[in-house]
Amino acid sequence: MIRCCVFCDLGIPTENNHGPARDSTTEFRFSSSPTMEDIRRLQAQFTAERDWNQFHQPRNLLLALVGEVGEVAELFQWKGEVAEGLPGWTPSQREALSHELSDVLIYLLELAEKCHVDLPQAALAKMELNAKKYPAGRVQGSAKKYTEYSTEDGEQGH
């Protein structure tokens, strides 16, 4: 059997091995794969193949994550506010951003794994909590923190 790449072995389509992942004329959205679990598994494989689990404890992963968030911030610093879609950014600036955001995601998922947090489920549960804390009808158009809503607004601050 001819092997293409690790992504094909795992049944994960990518732009490189299966053509464009999305139609650029439609509203922006992510590709349906890889899933968070796919990325967790690939990073676990990458780490194990290098005998790096000895370094990838939760605290080290947290520090690595924060470092990568800093690298994302560096790409935005001194630019002023930037509009959605990053108009005016060069292809190489966009590529740098996609690399740094990916580093953040990879370390975040490995940190969650090493802390035994099932992140897709945890994120969904947290979004349900967020929706209860910020009922759309009550907070419409306001960016106030939930603690700033008084009982007169009809919402009890915590």
Ligand X SMILES: Nc1ccn([C@H]2C[C@H](O)[C@@H](COP(=O)(O)OP(=O)(O)OP(=O)(O)O)O2)c(=O)n1
Candidate residues 34, 75, 103, 146; the one interacting with ligand X per rule CB under 6 A:
103
Candidate residues 55, 63, 138, 150; the one interacting with ligand X per rule CB under 6 A:
55
What secondary structure letter does DSSP report for 148? G
Counting contacts by CB under 6 A, is residue 65 touching ligand X?
no
Counting contacts by CB under 6 A, is residue 71 touching ligand X?
yes
Instruction: Output the smallest distance, CB 33 to ligand X, in A.
Output: 19
Residue entry with tokens 């676990």:
44
Distance between CA atoms of residues 71 and 24, nearest Å: 27
Counting contacts by CB under 6 A, is residue 52 touching ligand X?
yes
* Pick 39 or 149: Cβ nearer ligand X: 39
Stretch that binds ligand X, among 23-31, 47-55, 82-90, 149-157 (CB under 6 A): 47-55
Long-range contact set of residues 98-101: C-beta below 8 Å, sequence gap at least 24: 100/68, 100/71, 100/72, 100/75, 101/72
What secondary structure letter does DSSP report for 157? -
Phi, psi of 105 (to 5 degrees): -60, -45
Q: By the criterion CB under 6 A, which residues form the site for ligand X?
A: 47, 52, 55, 71, 103, 106
